[in-house]
Amino acid sequence: MRLTEEQVLAAFERPGRDVRYAAARWFAVSASPNTAAMPAAIAAIELHGPAAFLTCAPIADLAQTPATIEWTVGQLEDSTLDPSLREHLSRLLRSADPRLLAPHELSIRKSQTLWPELRRDCAQRIRLLELDAPALWLKLERLCDSGRKTLKSGEIDYRGGERIVDALACDPANAQAALDRLAATADCACDLKSDEPDAAPPAEADHSGAWMECFLTLLVGQMRLPGAIPGLVDKLHRPGQILSEESLRALIRIGAAPKAGDRVATELRTAIAEADDAFRRKSSVALGGIRSDVAVEALIAALAAEPELEHKAGLAEWLVGQFSTDANEAVRELLLAHPQLEPEALEELVVSATILGQEFPELAEWRTKAAALTHDRESQIAAFKAAPVRRDPVAPLRGPKSVGRNETCPCGSGKKFKKCCLARVSRGV
């Protein structure tokens, strides 16, 4: 059994910060277009305060409506707003559909409580809505041309490209052009990275096409275009950190569209059968974000085939996040066979079983262990909030090398960095 969206929505009203957090994350990780999740999160926050969730981080990735954006803008005008909630609501504005921001342009621009960089970012996204498609394509081409001699996202205005993509995605008429242009960039393979200090590329190299491919991949994902699925799966075989990350994001977003989840999961499962370990592990990330029975089956098969325990732990996280009894049973068997597995897997399995109403012999013992882990995590979050550090969500966090993969994520979730914000930080977000 796998829970439906309606059943997961009901978990927002249940007791337990961990349960409500898991429900919010279920929608956020899958890039669900369901606009009922954010009102449910708002209701929880208004009832329980900012402590309604282990962390409010998932709300920044929920689908928004005019009403939820109005609520968010109002909350951010409150100078006494909890700093952590302010951070995540600010990220929400930064990623929201610019058409929803437009009615609030004046209040955002004149706000005395929003961070200046956030005000400028929102203003630029709104202004781009005034341009027609040819003008937007030209701006994107010029931006990519500015990166023709670099492989690093820190040396190109990547955020500027994301803003242009947001504007292009607002017009459905751009769908075919996005697919056609993406198909034309299929041979632009190069290893684009976030901020790693690799040797400079040869002077004669021109990487503008590779940057365009990344932005077009982002665009077809933003527009949730099923026609892009085969090409996106093929890109996972290609080199390039940023291209891989954008392809995974796009596949997850497309997989959240009605009836598209099984199609994406089937394409990935078919490709995995003849692929190497690197492709299989990349694909598992996309499968973990797709809410589909086929995705669950593929993840269980990947778990059985994975030889390394560290990667099994990652698969376990994706499986328990599916809210499926079959997925939970596979993770239970893994924990019984490998008690030394990372403790987060046990904690998340207990939460998933609680939401599902699933029982198994070890649950009582594991629930006690999970409670202790939750207590430790909340202590970490409290210590993080008490630290005199400004947490500006608009300024990029330092790159992955400033925080160890196995250290606590600086966002305050209490999770390990590799399981939380590592992918987002590596893109410079």
Residue 64: both structure tokens together: 């928004």
- 379 lies in a domain? no
Q: What is the CA radius of gyration of the chain?
A: 21
**Together in a domain, 219 and 250:** yes
**Together in a domain, 116 and 163:** no
Q: What is the pLDDT of residues 141-151, one digit of tens each?
A: 999 999 999 88
Instruction: Report yes or no: 283 and 311 within 8 Å, Cβ to Cβ.
Output: no
Q: Over range 355-374, report the average pLDDT.
A: 91
Q: Over range 92-96, report the average pLDDT.
A: 95
Instruction: With a cut of 80, say whether residue 386 has pLDDT above it.
Output: no
Q: What phi, psi does 327 have (nearest 5°)?
A: -65, -45
Per-residue pLDDT at 405: 53
Instruction: Report yes or no: 58 and 24 within 8 Å, Cβ to Cβ.
Output: yes
- 411 lies in a domain? no
Q: How confident is the model at residue 410 (pLDDT cuts 50, 70, 90)?
A: low
- 146 lies in a domain? yes
Question: Pick from 239, 257, 275: which residue ends a domain?
Answer: 257
Q: Over range 26-52, report the average pLDDT.
A: 96
User: How many domains does the structure of the chain reveal?
Assistant: 2
Q: How confident is the model at residue 382 (pLDDT cuts 50, 70, 90)?
A: confident
**Together in a domain, 191 and 248:** yes
Q: Over range 393-419, report the average pLDDT.
A: 52
Question: Pick from 128, 162, 185: which residue ends a domain?
Answer: 128
What sign has the CA pseudo-torsion 185, 189, 190, 193? positive
How far apart (Å, rounded) are the C-alpha atoms in residues 145 and 322?
41
- 262 lies in a domain? no
- 288 lies in a domain? no
Q: What is the pLDDT of residues 262-287, one digit of tens each?
A: 999 999 999 998 888 889 999 999 99
Q: What phi, psi does 193 have (nearest 5°)?
A: -130, 175
Instruction: Report yes or no: 242 and 423 within 8 Å, Cβ to Cβ.
Output: no
Instruction: Report yes or no: 295 and 265 within 8 Å, Cβ to Cβ.
Output: yes
Residue 412 CA from chain centroid, whole number: 16
Q: Which of 93-107, 156-170, 408-422 has the lowest mean pLDDT?
A: 408-422
Q: Over range 336-362, report the average pLDDT.
A: 92
Instruction: Give the structural domain span for 229.
Output: 131-196+204-257
Per-residue pLDDT at 166: 97
- % of the chain beyond a pLDDT of 90: 70
Closest among 66, 3, 54 to 30, alpha carbons compared:
3
Mean pLDDT over all residues of the chain?
A: 88
Determine the residue type at 243: L
**Together in a domain, 122 and 164:** no
- 357 lies in a domain? no
Q: Over range 396-401, report the average pLDDT.
A: 41
**Together in a domain, 245 and 156:** yes
**Together in a domain, 27 and 100:** yes
**Together in a domain, 111 and 135:** no
Q: How confident is the model at residue 416 (pLDDT cuts 50, 70, 90)?
A: low
Per-residue pLDDT at 340: 85
Q: Which of 78-82, 225-229, 418-422 has the lowest mean pLDDT?
A: 418-422
Instruction: With a cut of 50, say whether residue 200 has pLDDT above it.
Output: no
Per-residue pLDDT at 194: 56
**Together in a domain, 214 and 162:** yes
Q: Provide DSSP, 218-282.
A: HHHHHTT-GGGHHHHHHHTTS--HHHHHHHHHHHHHHHTSTTTHHHHHHHHHHHHTT--HHHHHH
How far apart (Å, rounded) are the C-alpha atoms in residues 342 and 333?
14
- 212 lies in a domain? yes
**DSSP-assigned beta bridge partners for residue 408:** 416
**Together in a domain, 155 and 244:** yes
Per-residue pLDDT at 399: 39
Q: How confident is the model at residue 383 (pLDDT cuts 50, 70, 90)?
A: confident
Per-residue pLDDT at 418: 55
Instruction: Report yes or no: 341 and 334 within 8 Å, Cβ to Cβ.
Output: yes
Question: Pick from 74, 94, 128: which residue ends a domain?
Answer: 128
Q: Over range 73-84, report the average pLDDT.
A: 93
**Together in a domain, 102 and 178:** no
- 76 lies in a domain? yes
Per-residue pLDDT at 390: 55
